[in-house]
A = this chain, B = another copy of it.
C-alpha cells in the first residue's frame, strides 16, 4: 500500500512510519517540523538525542534497505502543495498526526490557544477537502484522543465513539437513536479533537469519505522494534511539563532522582497504551478500513486504565523514587472512574502490552542512559488552566 504519514517526524508518527515501511508499505512522511520548532520556543529538548529527519531517513535506508520519502509541507497552510501530493503520489491511506498535541501547551496563553485551533482545524479540514477535490478514494486514519469523552462523566463503560440513547417524545413514547458520544473536552487541545469529530462526521455523511478515528489513550514508552535498531532511529521522549505525558514523566523523574510529581491527589484515572501497541493499532486499523458507505469507524486505542496515584506508587516501588503532591494546574475533578471498551482492536487482533510486561524497566534504562540531557527546571507544570487565578477569583466574588 502507498501511505502518507502526516506528522511523521513526531513521537507517534515516526515509529508509525518506520513500522509501516518495515512491513513492506511505501511510505511518504509529510511534516513541517513544527514539534522541533516548539522545542526551540520552549527551550526544551527530547531526552533522547533524536536526529534530523534527513539523517533518520538515511539511517533507515541503511538499516532496512527501504526508502521513505519526505516532504516539508505545512498542511494547515499550503493547501495546493497538499492537493498536488495526493494527485501525484496516489496514496491508498493517509494517517493524520499533524496536530499540536499537548493539552498544557494549548492552555498557556492566547498565542498557543490560537495556534492550536488554527493549525489543528485547518490541517484536518485541508486533508478532507483535498481528498474530496482529488476525487480519490483514500482511507483517512486520524489520531484522536480518549480525552474527547471527558473523564468519568458517566458511570457506564465508554463505548467506541457512538452512544445509543432514547429520546422521549412529547407523546410519551421514545425513539432510539445512535449519536456521536457527547463531547466533554478538558483543554483547548482536546476541544480541537472534538471539533475534528464533526469534520469527520460531515465529510463522511456528505461526501462518503472513508475515515477511521482512533481515540488514543496516554502513550508511554519510547522505542519500538524499528526505532531500537539503530541509535540514529531513536524516538523522541518528552519529560517537560508541557509535552511530557504522565507515566513517561514519572519514569524520567525516577531516573534522575527527582520526586514523582503527582498533580492534586492523583485520583484521576486515565487510559494508557504503549508506543509499540500504538503503531500496531494503526497498522491493524489500516488493514481493516471502512467499506464505502460505512459511517466513521471509531476505535478506542488504549489497553488499560490506571489511577495516577497507583502508577506513581508502582514506579516508586520499582525505582525507590519519592512522591511529591503538587497543586493541580488543570481544572478537573479530583478523582474519577474510567471504564473503556477497546473491543474493536481486540477483535482485529491486538494482543495488548501492559504495565505487567516489565517495559517500564526499559524506559527507566533509556532515561538513565540520557539523564545528563535532563533539564530539571523543565519538569514542573508550565501552564495553568485558569490564568491569573487571583484576578478571576476576585471577579467571581463580586
The interface of chain A, by Cβ under 8 A from chain B, is 79, 83, 109-110, 113-114, 117-118, 121-122, 125-126, 129-130, 132-133, 135, 137, 153-157, 163, 165-171, 173, 175, 177, 179-180, 182-183, 185, 187-188, 191, 194-195, 198-199, 201-202, 205-208, 292-293, 331, 339, 385-388, 391-392, 395-396, 398
Complex Cα distance, B206 from A286, in Å, reads 36
A117-B121, A156-B167, A206-B386 known; A198-B177 Cβ under 8 A = no
A129-B114, A133-B110, A396-B208 known; A156-B182 Cβ under 8 A = no
Which residue in B126, B168, B205, B387 is a CB contact (below 8 Å) of A132?
B387
Across-interface contacts of A293 in B (CB, < 8 A): 396
Which B residue's beta carbon lies closest to that of A157?
B170
Complex Cα distance, B166 from A168, in Å, reads 10
Across-interface contacts of A114 in B (CB, < 8 A): 79, 122, 125-126, 129
Which B residue's beta carbon lies closest to that of A153?
B177
Across-interface contacts of A202 in B (CB, < 8 A): 185, 188, 191
A154-B167, A165-B166 known; A207-B386 Cβ under 8 A = yes
Complex Cα distance, B227 from A49, in Å, reads 66
Tell me the smallest distance from the CB of A116 to a CB of chain B, in Å. Answer: 9
Which residue in B117, B175, B199, B388 is a CB contact (below 8 Å) of A191?
B199
Across-interface contacts of A175 in B (CB, < 8 A): 154-156
- For A137, A173, A191, the residue with the greatest tally of chain B CB atoms inside 10 Å of its CB is A191
Which residue in B157, B198, B331 is a CB contact (below 8 Å) of A194?
B198
Which B residue's beta carbon lies closest to that of A193?
B198
Complex Cα distance, B111 from A330, in Å, reads 38
Tell me the smallest distance from the CB of A58 to a CB of chain B, in Å. Answer: 36
Across-interface contacts of A201 in B (CB, < 8 A): 183, 185
